[in-house]
Structure 1
Amino acid sequence: MAFLTPNMVLSLGHADGDFEMSGVCFKPAYFDNLSAYAPVYNQMIAFLNEKVMPVQCLSENEMTSLQTMLKLYADINAEQLHYNGLLMHLSNLLLLRFAEILRSGYMSDTSKVSHSVEIYREFRKLLIGNYLKEHYIPFYASQLSVSAAYLSRIVRKISGRTVNEHITHMLTTEARRLLDCTDLTVKQIAYRLGFSDQAAFGKFFRPQFGVPPTIYRNRENN
């Protein structure tokens, strides 16, 4: 079993003919809001600080148990009365199981949330609520009552990405959605994303995609 953060890339090669793979992917915002996030964060950090890939070999019984849990996701119907609650409880249960598996490979105390993990979690919450109007690190650092340098260090240590990379990712994801799925003009999109004008938006957008927003939209529609 391999545990990957958003900045990790895993390549598989030389698989047997009967190779099968199952997995679950949590959106960062959803993951951060689960009550069981802290044990997994702490165990992952323990691995990453040692520059060790968090890969664990499971027994047959452990693998069967996890496969059973993963199949429960398919059994939860979105039309069920308590769909969101069922999904959240299952996800928390799965995360706690992940934390125990990781703990068996790297012993550390996961009973408490470290200060750095809490800072990162609060940063993620702030980012989700403010990225459309706040594009620079001083805002987030001041809201968290820490220095910009300290916040930068914590965010890079835990996620492997800089604060600016987190902000850029959020903006580019929303920019692509607005360009691909709405009829808003590029100027309107620029203002919605918190840029002073269309030129500023274009200056931000082009390095990410290699073309200006207008050409990107025309290319996608052709």
Structure 2
Amino acid sequence: MIDQQLPFRFIPVSKETFSRFQDGKIISTLDQCGIFLCRRGEIEVAFEDETYRMKRGDMYVYVTSTLVRVLHKSKDAEGYMVEVDLNYVIPIVNRVVKVENLLYLRRYPCISLSERQYLHLEHLLKQLHHRMETEDLSDMTQQCRLLTVELLKSMGQTIFFEVLNTYFANQPLSPLPQGKKDLVFHNFMFALFRHYHSERDVAFYARMQHLAPRYFSTVIKEKSGSSALQWIVKMVIAEAKQMLENSDLSIKEIAGRLNFPTQSFFGKYFKQYVGVSPKEYRARHT
């Protein structure tokens, strides 16, 4: 299936396929990012201490390590949902979005689109879904299969950029009210996006805030659902996968860019968290 070769999934959400959104159900997105665009009816969701009532033209952008509870949905609720793998989206985000903006998006995930914005985004989503539904890779030459998959990836990336552009056009940034623990988490994310290429030790990030590593990791877990080490591993592995799939760098060069002392050490680290060696991963995904 073509879905298995793409780093995202398109999920049309209708009255018949709303099982994931049953009232009272928690939707965990520990390793997923994505959007839900409401096209009909109403759906009420809760994120941390905020409740959002979505109607046609409202968009919910969710990022990794969030827990969302569906409080209520109308019988006619429908929409579009696109989920993106974390290891695909992190390197893209790093290029185009400042970390403080990403944290703002995480805190305020729901926006209302203008009619023009809604129709444009809906058009892009319908185009992507149509191509994913109608393309049959089994009838193509190897060259055409590769081109089709890359074409669909490009369409998905266009939608991703459109979503970010629409969000920040509708949601002006302003300072976030922060408690002490919120500040610890935000400062960690700032530091992580800047240093994950070279620093994988929780103690390094704890020292930056003059905190004991154990307390520091407890705060990060409390505020995000993932420990500090899990966040570090997510970032490093996501970048490694991206380079293995989409670059001609040797495994030794990738190890060097991620500040591993040797290729062997990088290989053991990668296999510990992915389950296969970098060489095996590259062979499977290229």
Q: Measure how far apart 1:87 and its partner are.
A: 5.5
Question: Residue 92 in 1 paired to residue 171 in 2?
Answer: yes
Deviations 1:127-155 (A, max 9, x none): 11111111011111111111112211111
- Give the conservation status (yes or no) of the 8 Å contact 2:112–2:170: no
Find the counterpart in structure 2 of residue 7 from structure 1. 65
TM normalised by structure 1 equals 0.62
| Matched length | 177
Aligned to 1:33: 100
- The residue that corresponds to 1:66 in the other structure is 112
Q: Which residue of 2 aligns with 1:205?
A: 270
The TM-score normalised by the length of structure 2 is: 0.50
Offset at 1:179? 0.5
Q: 2:79 aligns with which of 20, 29, 50?
A: 20
- Opposite residue 222 of structure 2, the aligned amino acid is K
Distance 2:68 2:176 in 1: 29
- State the distance in 2 between where 1:161 and 1:87 align: 28
Any unmatched runs of 5+ in structure 2?
Answer: 1-43, 48-61, 123-161
What's the offset of the Cα at 1:74? Answer: 4.7
Q: How far apart are 1:112 and its partner, in Å?
A: 3.0
* CA separation of 1:211 and 1:22: change in aligned 2, threshold 3 A: closer
Match of residue 156 from structure 2: none
CA contact (8 A) 1:73 1:87 kept: no
Counterpart in 2 of 1:127?
192
Whole-angstrom distance in 1 between the partners of 2:212 and 2:259: 24
Matched residue SS, 1:146: coil
1:92–1:118 CA distance, 2 compared to 1 (3 A):
farther
Superposition RMSD in Å: 4.2
Higher helix share: 1
For each residue in 1:109-133, what CA deviation from the matched residue of structure 2 results, as whole angstroms up to 9, or x when unmatched?
x973111111111110111111111
1:132 aligned counterpart, secondary structure: coil
1:17 and 1:35, CA in 2 relative to 1: closer, same or farther beyond 3 A? closer
- 1:196 partner SS: coil
Report the identity percentage: 22
Bigger strand share: 2
In structure 2, C-alpha distance between the alignment counterparts of 1:119 and 1:7, rounded to whole Å:
16
Amino acid across the alignment from 1:140: Y
| 1:30-78 CA distance string (max 9 Å, x none) | 484139839x74x99xxxxxxxxxxxxxxxxxx9x82438639859xxx
Where do 5+ consecutive residues of structure 1 fail to align?
45-62, 76-82, 97-109
* 1:155 aligned counterpart, secondary structure: helix
Displacement over 6 Å in runs of 4+: 9-12, 15-18, 22-29
